[in-house]
Amino acid sequence: MRSKVIIVLFFMFLVFGCNTKKDKKDTEVLVFNLKDQTEKEKINFLKLKLDESHQNLLNPSISKDSIGKVYKSWSELHNNLYKFLVKNNFNWGVKKKNIKLFNKIYFNKDGGIKVYAFRIYDSVSEINTQKYKKLIKEFAKEVKVSIKKSDDFAQCGKISLPNF
């Protein structure tokens, strides 16, 4: 009898112990380098059809009355990114005053980053590009924009980050 109870308890532990819910913070953020994508990466990115499901809030015809708030959130996001890169001692490895990038960032309706796609316009090495990609993944897990919407949304555009 005792062994049956132990077996039942063990079975219950396996069934219920392995079905823990994944915390939202542990959700994987997808990061894409749009400049040096392999054909497979390009296909995987396009399969997501993000532009169909995420309106670009930086489009004045979409944001109309709240475009000022959208611009402010875009600016704050990139100021926070710059601070994050400095805090993590990231070095672009080039002798330019500013680094120019294109970012296309897809957010969930609560302002959390789901997908971060970027293209670096300057001649940054593959090693530093990969370091940047890794840091973006970390940054995206802990940052949110101040905008909340009823649906997922996007912000995209060119930026210039100071090269420290």
pLDDT in tens, 25-81: 457 999 999 998 889 999 999 999 999 999 999 888 889 889 999 999 999 999 999
Q: Is 86 exposed, middle or buried (0-12, 13-18, 19+ CB in 10 A)?
A: exposed
What are the contacts of 17-20 at 24+ separation with CB within 8 A? none
pLDDT above 80 for 104: yes
**How far is the C-alpha of 128 from the C-alpha of 58, rounded, in Å?**
29
Q: Largest Cα–Cα distance in the chain?
A: 76
Percent of residues, the chain, with pLDDT higher than 70: 84
Q: How many CA atoms lie within 13 Å of 68's alpha carbon, on the beta-carbon side?
A: 1
Give the global pTM: 0.81
Region at 108 (left for phi over 0; alpha for psi -120 to 50; beta for the rest): beta
Q: Are 70 and 137 in contact (CB under 8 A)?
A: no
pLDDT above 50 for 21: no
**How far is the C-alpha of 156 from the C-alpha of 79, rounded, in Å?**
15
The domain limits of the chain are 21-162
**At residue 90, what are phi and psi to the nearest 5 degrees?**
-75, 135
Sheet bearing 30-33, strands edge to edge? 30-33, 113-120, 98-107, 153-162, 55-56
Strands (E), 62-97: none
